[in-house]
Structure 1
């Protein structure tokens, strides 16, 4: 594949980053060498194939990473894909802590990228868990039982928005915190909005 050009809108990310500069530049070189279009999405470099998100580059305190949007569908024969948390259903990361790792894994990274492009070309989709398969906190269930308008509004939300609320409400260990979260989010649910909608 031919080397695509960098996107000036993305340059600032690489110019501003301090901690993983060499590593991120090398990941960028690999991604651009695979024929992607470089875009800025969610404040980070995102690499697309025919307008579909394939992989993005992001940095954290302890590591930097390639994140494959449909990583769960890739054949991870090298055992290097990482699920960020048990609630992440589709995306998978390959993490790095030094530039040498990236150089050493460059052929493998390209193979995973090509595989991700083939997944996209084939139109494969990740089978997401349905909202009813997620744990529902007792505190939220009680509110749904007491307020029919809340139940109606919640049922009308998209599955992704429902999942977001269910995970948010069930995460705290203390009942008081779970109850507080439900109370704070009720107006948003009643207005047909998701957890992060403005």
Structure 2
């Protein structure tokens, strides 16, 4: 029998209805390909370990589920869709978005082989440095008017800054942008990262 965790049961139970079958299917696929996998919570997300090493992580968001093989960049390679969502398989919005069972099992077993070979962390074949974070003028102006929010933003690492900047600049409508800008400043004034809700799951 697979080694399951009540914490993962609870995580899935409180996830959105669309996400539950996706999470359950991913869970089943991991245990099918890797019977030795054990479940735990890491970064407040359901995670699977193999021989004590991280094998995979999955997470439910408002409109999609993400699945990330810890060694995915080396396993999935050019098939990865990480640019479209967290993880190598893009934004999973239904079970049919998951790669076929045979393909997924192959990815998981390849990741297991890397762990068996002594790989200790994920990585990319040729990681490209991300461009510097350039906050838009309206965000900079709003931050200047709110010292607490500015202090939080200035203290953020580049990734957390980029989360807010991308969220604001990707708004398609001006009113949406203004709402996001106001929400961003409010959250940062409280010391919160863009995805604080998921960090505190």
Shorter-normalised TM-score: what interval?
Answer: 0.5 to 0.7
Q: For 1:1-198, what aligned pairs fall within 5 Å after superposition? A: 5-9=2-6, 10=8, 25-32=28-35, 35-39=36-40, 45-49=46-50, 52-56=53-57, 67-72=68-73, 74-76=74-76, 79-83=78-82, 85=84, 88=86, 91-93=87-89, 97=96, 101-103=100-102, 106-115=105-114, 117=115, 121-123=119-121, 133-144=132-143, 146-147=144-145, 149=147, 150-197=149-196
In structure 2, C-alpha distance between the alignment counterparts of 1:154 and 1:42, rounded to whole Å: 21
Q: 1:103 to 1:190 in 2, by over 3 A?
A: closer
Per-residue deviation, 1:170: 1.6
Unpaired runs of at least 5, structure 1: none
In structure 2, C-alpha distance between the alignment counterparts of 1:20 and 1:151, rounded to whole Å: 37
1:92 match: secondary structure: coil
Higher RCO (CA-CA < 8 Å; seq separation 6+):
2
In structure 1, C-alpha distance between the alignment counterparts of 2:153 and 2:25, rounded to whole Å: 46
In structure 1, C-alpha distance between the alignment counterparts of 2:177 and 2:155, rounded to whole Å: 22
The answer on whether the counterparts of 1:31 and 1:47 sit within 8 Å (CA) in structure 2 is no
The answer on whether the counterparts of 1:27 and 1:102 sit within 8 Å (CA) in structure 2 is no
2:100 match: secondary structure: helix
Per-residue deviation, 1:8: 4.8
Task: From the CA coordinates, give the structure whose radius of gyration is larger.
Answer: 1
In structure 2, C-alpha distance between the alignment counterparts of 1:186 and 1:92, rounded to whole Å: 31
Unpaired runs of at least 5, structure 2: none
Number of residues paired by the alignment? 182
In structure 2, C-alpha distance between the alignment counterparts of 1:29 and 1:112, rounded to whole Å: 14
In structure 1, C-alpha distance between the alignment counterparts of 2:106 and 2:72, rounded to whole Å: 17
In structure 2, C-alpha distance between the alignment counterparts of 1:103 and 1:178, rounded to whole Å: 43
In structure 1, C-alpha distance between the alignment counterparts of 2:44 and 2:37, rounded to whole Å: 18
2:68 match: secondary structure: strand
